[in-house]
Copies of this chain bind each other. A is one copy, B any other.
């Protein structure tokens, strides 16, 4: 890609610069077997958050507030608009079935590689054996233990063969190679917008994805969560590391007040207060549903034996 040329070009600017993210700008961070995340542009840094918050507080603000403390205060009290003042633009390569989950977040700007217009490359995601996990019985959208080596090998073989065959037929239908050269002059070229339907959902696509920091945190809170599907979580984790380099104070506040935080229902708060007063609370007396109670004691690591 042409941007790679930019890696060593340095320009002068009057804008705020975030030194941490400059170091990784344009560099592709590998994710899964063929995917990546790379930062293509950004706007703002920790001080841009503080600056926006201070315009709200205006002349009434004591300038002695430390930036770090103010950012923590904003995060804790859900004053979200100052975090909208930072933007980041990623170039991402990811399997289509993950792109389908990802795009449900509607607050980003997206330009995706068009399989209507262009020819898809022969690249698809095949899990590692250690990621081939069984359907969870307790959690309908989760995974359980991994398959045995033999079982795994068998299914990985199916996945690989099917994707490969589907790509070959895709190419036969469009009758073009990846460079757009006609393969067989006697054959017709099926419209690309039709032929693409023969590809499986593990084929890779690419997009530019631009989002502000507030909305990115919302995305990361959901997708870096242990309940998120592994194949999207690895992207979220790569982006979390990028955020840490870009806006270290905001990252720290996000970890403390969102990722490592816990929310308790009205009954949950009542139960905590009672227990702190030395009272015994049980599933039955808590007012919670059985399911919520189990989540509650898991979060607080309460021994029920």
Contacts and interface: CB of A to CB of B under 8 A. Distances in A.
A258 to B, nearest CB: 9
B273 A266 contact: no
A33 interface: no
Given A57-B118, A263-B262, A52 B111 contact: yes
Interface stretch (A84-92, A234-242, A243-251): A84-92
Nearest to A107: B106
A191 interface: yes
B263 A142 contact: no
Contacts of A81: 109-111
Nearest to A277: B301
A198 B159 CA distance: 6
Given A6-B14, A198-B200, A261-B268, 18 more contacts: A2-B51, A10-B14, A11-B15, A11-B16, A13-B13, A59-B119, A97-B115, A116-B141, A147-B188, A155-B173, A158-B169, A158-B198, A163-B198, A198-B201, A201-B201, A256-B266, A262-B264, A272-B272
Interface of A: 2-3, 6-7, 9-17, 22, 25-26, 40-44, 48, 51-53, 55-61, 69, 72-73, 76, 78, 81-82, 84-85, 87, 89, 91, 95-97, 99-100, 103-104, 106-107, 109-119, 121, 125, 127, 131-136, 140-144, 147-148, 151, 155, 158-159, 162-163, 165-166, 169, 172-174, 178-180, 187-194, 196-202, 206-208, 210, 212, 222, 229, 255-257, 259-269, 272-273, 275-276, 289, 291-292, 299-302
A194 B87 CA distance: 32
Contacts of A103: 100, 103-104
A74 to B, nearest CB: 11
A119 B190 CA distance: 31
B9 A11 contact: no
Contacts of A189: 134-135
Contacts of A85: 89, 109, 111, 208, 210
* Copies held by the complex: 4
17 contacts: A13-B17, A16-B41, A57-B117, A59-B119, A60-B119, A60-B140, A81-B109, A85-B111, A116-B141, A117-B140, A141-B193, A147-B190, A158-B198, A162-B165, A256-B267, A260-B265, A261-B268
B292 A140 contact: no
Given A42-B15, A111-B56, A301-B273, A201 B196 contact: yes
A76 B294 CA distance: 13
Which of A56, A148, A266 has the most chain B CB atoms closer than 10 A to its own CB?
A: A56
A141 B114 CA distance: 9
Nearest to A7: B14
